[in-house]
Homo-oligomer: A and B are copies of this chain.
Amino acid sequence: MAGEFSRRTEGLLDQAETVCEHRGAKLTELRRHVLGLVLDAAAPTGAYELLDRLRQSRRGAAPPTVYRALDFLLEQGLIHRVERLSSFVGCVAGCTTGHGEGESHTHAAQFLICRQCGKVTEMQDADVTAVLARAAKEAGFSISGATIEAEGLCGACRSASARRPAG
């Protein structure tokens, strides 16, 4: 039954399904459902919160249910894990970008976490990735994946606190 999620989300889910097919991976109903929950959420979402939402239509769902789905989605690069928040966000690029088959599909992403409003922004800055890779290489290290998460103030909160300094 299509229509569980917003029109935009359903569109992304369809694209994700196509991408998975091309890779020979199966975006099952459960996995599609969990991905939908992640994509529909306004902010990074914890596994147990996803579990609660999943239970609204899938009685008897348990932690392994959601964690197995999340593991699959992570492997496919359809979602990211934000370590600092122990939570998960959708990767728009992952839902729309095709890759070669049989590869790892993790994207190089960076997250900006506002300590004021909690908003999380995803970047995909090639320079950041490249400079880190170069620095690692100088240490004899070859990178396969990286977690880059910055905490600070987003533009909105920064200008707000500039107007009300002690805010």
- A residues contacting B by CB (< 8 A) are 83-84, 110, 112, 114-115, 121, 123, 125, 127-128, 131-132, 134-136, 139-155, 158
Interface pair A135/B141, CB less than 8 Å apart: no
CB closest chain-B residue, reference A129? B131
How many of these chains are in the complex? 2
Interface pair A151/B145, CB less than 8 Å apart: yes
Interface pair B128/A110, CB less than 8 Å apart: no
Interface pair A152/B141, CB less than 8 Å apart: yes
In whole Å, how far is A114's beta carbon from the nearest beta carbon of chain B? 8
Given A142-B152, A146-B149, A153-B141: A112 and B136 within 8 A (CB)?
yes
Extra contacts, 19 of them, besides A83-B149, A136-B152, A146-B149 (Cβ < 8 A), are A112-B141, A115-B144, A121-B139, A123-B135, A127-B134, A128-B128, A128-B131, A132-B148, A136-B150, A140-B155, A140-B158, A141-B150, A141-B153, A143-B150, A145-B152, A146-B148, A146-B151, A147-B147, A148-B148
Alpha-carbon gap, A112 to B143, bound state (A): 8
In whole Å, how far is A89's beta carbon from the nearest beta carbon of chain B? 15
Interface pair B147/A83, CB less than 8 Å apart: yes
Alpha-carbon gap, A38 to B144, bound state (A): 27
